[in-house]
């Protein structure tokens, strides 16, 4: 019997950092916090969460500790933001949706930091869980 184990590849803008995430994601979210806006240069950041052990790397993101115990990974060559992780819980890693070669299979399940959401995002899908 063959087991279905999807793989999802992606990487940075210049290709110096590549990854393959195996299996299904364990979560996905839109983050509206101020730091994610600064990091992404966008009004909202979208992440797909995988078990850390299911992600393999060709080239490694450089970590930046944006707040105590919270790390944002970026390409050391082109600066593309790729990951977010909580150093206190290294069992999962959030990968930016735009880093995937094909982001279409993924669905966000939560909106985080809604109290910081920009007014232009006021029409957010009410069927997705909102967390403040």
Asked if pLDDT for residue 57 goes beyond 90, the answer is: yes
pLDDT for residue 117: 86
Q: Which range, 18-22, 83-87, 123-127, has the best average confidence (pLDDT)?
A: 18-22
Sorting pLDDT into bands at 50, 70 and 90, what band is 64? Answer: very high
pLDDT in tens, 37-50: 999 988 889 999 99
User: Using CA atoms in the order 43, 46, 110, 19, what is the torsion angle rounded to 10 degrees?
Assistant: -170
Sorting pLDDT into bands at 50, 70 and 90, what band is 115? Answer: confident
Mean pLDDT of 91-116: 93
> What token pair was written down for 78?
């082109």
pLDDT for residue 121: 64
CB neighbours of residue 101 within 10 Å = 10
Q: What CATH number belongs to 7-131? A: 2.170.150.70
Domain ranges of the chain: 7-131
pTM of the predicted protein model:
0.86
Mean pLDDT of 56-78: 96
CB 101 within 8 A of CB 18: no
Rounded to the nearest 5°, which phi and psi values hold at 109? -115, -10
């Amino acid at each position: 019997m063959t087991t279905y184990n999807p793989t999802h590849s992606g990487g940075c803008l210049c290709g110096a950092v590549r990854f393959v995430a195996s299996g299904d994601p364990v979560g996905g979210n839109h983050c509206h916090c101020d730091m994610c806006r600064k990091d992404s240069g966008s009004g909202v950041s979208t992440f797909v969460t995988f078990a850390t052990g299911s992600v393999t790397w060709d080239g490694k993101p450089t970590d930046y500790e944006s707040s105590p115990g919270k790390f944002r990974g970026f390409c050391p060559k082109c600066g593309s933001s790729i990951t977010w992780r909580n150093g206190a819980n290294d069992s999962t890693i959030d990968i930016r949706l735009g880093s995937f070669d094909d982001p279409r299979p993924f669905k966000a399940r939560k909106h985080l930091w809604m109290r910081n959401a920009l007014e232009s995002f006021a029409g957010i899908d009410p069927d997705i869980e909102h967390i403040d």
